Amino acid sequence: MSKTDPIYSGEKRKKILPLLFLLLFILTACNFPIKDLGYVLRSYPTLDPAIFESRRTPTSPIIENTPAAPGTPVPRPQVNEQFYHVYAAQSGDTLNVVASHFGVTSAEITSPNLLPESGIIPPGQYLVIPINDANREQRAMILPDSAVINSPCALELNITEFVNNAGGYLSSFSQLVAGERISGAAVVQRVAENQSVNPLLLLAFIEYRSGLVYGHYPPVDIYHPLGLNNERFKGLYQELSLAARMINAGYYGWRYGTLNDMIFIDETGARVPANLNAGSVGVIHLFARLYPSFEWEARLLGADGFLQRYQAMFGDPMICASRVEPLLTDQVVAPELQLPFAEGEVWVFTAGPHYSWVEGTPLGALDFAPNIKDAGCFVSPKYAVAVASGTVTRSDNGVVMQTLEDENGLPTGWEVLYMHIAAEDRVAQGTRLEANDPVGHPSCEGGNATGSHVHIARKYKGEWIGSAELFPFILSGWQVIPGRTIYTGTLVKEERVVFARQGGDSDSLITR
């Protein structure tokens, strides 16, 4: 990546303005206005080799002037590659986010296919984008998205079996987490499930930083076995959780177009190569927070670097990626969900979009509380209920995770998180729920909370989903509209509006 200073001191090439105007005139039919996504607050890839080409033969500008319908296969456009990138849209790409990555306006992006006015661009669709100082550098994929998030590729690993077979210090390690002593393998499992980060990536990171997976010696510093040296995060569980946060901050910051530059620990900056996928950016972000600008690349990609260690442990991640990716496409449809309480009950909309899990995950969660005067932290007599049909795949530590299923009982790829569900009467793992079946009682269990409530968030194939940008969050016909700041926002249904208010004002009351 190039250093930040030259990027921001450069100006657009004025010599090519006439060519740009001609191109835009020819291709004006390729662009359509899209909804402004300026309210996006947070921080994916097709496997088309064209994404990662760094050397191309210069050709003439694109001359296609009859755009094909979205999704219609077309050959790679012919352009003058001294002045234009040809970029193949990746998993989860939207027009505004691609424009943000490349440092251009959405109006400057053209395509031989019609560009969708909103939502995800079909993965693989070719986009023609002017070259400028912000996007000149291109880089090959480091890791596919499915190797970074807790995707279907993680299902192939039995963590306990792997750790025990490795036979290192981690296989005999245990520590207290939330009052419970758990094994080293369970630490990895819990962080992977909580943060939705791939456990293969976490195990490789543990081995690279500490040698605890295969090595037999305890860490030099038991409080900082991974060497992150943050006094707020001590012990393996906390340090691994912090590393997962760093990965997610890069991943989702790139996904939603809020992160385009890396700041390294030596306080130098660099523009992220615009053609990268979210998974690669997530890993780069982790290494940027651990190493200086002159060292991160060798640490990540060098002969003895992290990527070599990962591949030695788990092989080529592209094998699984070729089976499951792209993960987020224009064909994915958000499930129909209902409000998480019984029909006829009045609840309070206490928090608009906020972190799906913790900082680093997207603003994809909503909070609802029973309408009980002067409520505090106690187990509510009311029940949170299932928002759709599906099977409970996790039930512990205040968490219920439900895998949604279609009418034939097959998994759809969508999951719903219910947080702060009390242990008392909480639905058991393995239970199949229909919409309206009780999940459990709202409480303060399972994390920081000032009052009993249920926290609802969505995932798709291991990726946390924001509240509005890619797939609208709609509950019983009420659509979430994010506010200007975290925790604020409204629910809108026809002419009715409900405001997120922690205090439970009259305009925050909602019923089914």
Distance CA 329, CA 362 (A): 18
Residue 334 lies in a domain: no
Distance CA 258, CA 254 (A): 6
Residue 332 lies in a domain: no
Last residue of a domain, which of 130, 158, 191?
130
Distance CA 371, CA 506 (A): 10
Do both 149 and 122 map to the same domain?
Answer: no
Total of domains in the chain = 3
- The token duo for 165 is 């077979």
Do both 120 and 185 map to the same domain?
Answer: no
Q: Which amino acid is at 362?
A: P
Do both 305 and 209 map to the same domain?
Answer: yes
Distance CA 48, CA 325 (A): 11
Note if the bond before 326 is cis, omega within 30 degrees: yes
Do both 239 and 280 map to the same domain?
Answer: yes
Distances (CA, A) of 67 to 71, 114, 494: 11, 5, 36
- The token duo for 82 is 């001294």
Distance CA 282, CA 275 (A): 14
Per DSSP, 149 falls in state B
Do both 357 and 505 map to the same domain?
Answer: yes
Per-residue pLDDT of the chain (512 residues; tens, 9 = 90+): 544 433 333 333 343 434 433 333 333 333 322 233 222 223 323 233 332 233 233 333 443 445 777 667 789 999 999 999 999 999 999 999 999 999 999 999 999 999 997 899 999 999 999 999 999 999 999 999 999 999 999 998 999 999 999 999 999 999 999 899 999 999 999 999 999 999 999 999 999 999 999 999 999 999 999 999 999 999 999 999 999 999 999 999 999 999 999 999 999 999 999 999 999 999 999 999 999 999 999 999 999 999 999 999 999 999 999 999 999 999 999 999 999 999 999 999 999 999 999 999 999 999 999 987 666 899 999 999 999 999 999 999 999 999 999 999 999 999 999 999 999 999 999 999 999 999 999 999 998 888 999 999 999 999 999 998 899 999 999 999 999 999 999 999 999 999 999 888 899 999 99
**Per-residue pLDDT tens over the stretch 259-301:** 999 999 999 999 999 999 999 999 999 999 999 999 999 999 9
Residue 139 lies in a domain: no
Phi-psi region of 92 (alpha: psi -120 to 50; beta: other; left: phi over 0): left
Last residue of a domain, which of 76, 96, 130?
130
CATH code, 450: 2.70.70.10
Rounded to 10 degrees, the C-alpha dihedral 332/338/339/341 comes to -140
Q: How far apart are the first and last CA of the chain?
A: 52
- The token duo for 141 is 């994929």
Do both 107 and 182 map to the same domain?
Answer: no
Residue 481, beta-bridge partner list:
490
Do both 123 and 216 map to the same domain?
Answer: no
Residue 333 lies in a domain: no
Q: Which amino acid is at 319?
A: I
Do both 390 and 284 map to the same domain?
Answer: no
**What domain range includes position 37?**
4-130
Residue 84 lies in a domain: yes
Task: Say if CB 420 and CB 454 are below 8 A apart.
Answer: yes
Task: Say if CB 122 and CB 70 are below 8 A apart.
Answer: yes
Do both 283 and 361 map to the same domain?
Answer: no
Rg (C-alpha) for the chain, rounded Å, is: 24
Distance CA 224, CA 214 (A): 18
Residue 373 lies in a domain: yes
Residue 335 lies in a domain: no
Do both 396 and 279 map to the same domain?
Answer: no
pLDDT for residue 9: 37
b/e sequence 222-257, b meaning 16+ C-beta within 10 Å: eebbbebeeeebbbbbbbbbbbbbbbbbbbbbbbbb
Do both 366 and 506 map to the same domain?
Answer: yes
Count of beta carbons in the 10 Å neighbourhood of residue 490: 19
Task: Say if CB 396 and CB 440 are below 8 A apart.
Answer: no
| pTM given for the model | 0.86
CB-based burial of residue 211 (10 Å sphere; 0-12 exposed, 13-18 middle, 19+ buried)?
middle
Last residue of a domain, which of 96, 130, 164?
130
Do both 253 and 350 map to the same domain?
Answer: no
Residue 380 lies in a domain: yes
Count of beta carbons in the 10 Å neighbourhood of residue 140: 14
Q: Report how far Cα 112 is from the mean position of its chain's Cα atoms.
A: 29
pLDDT for residue 66: 58
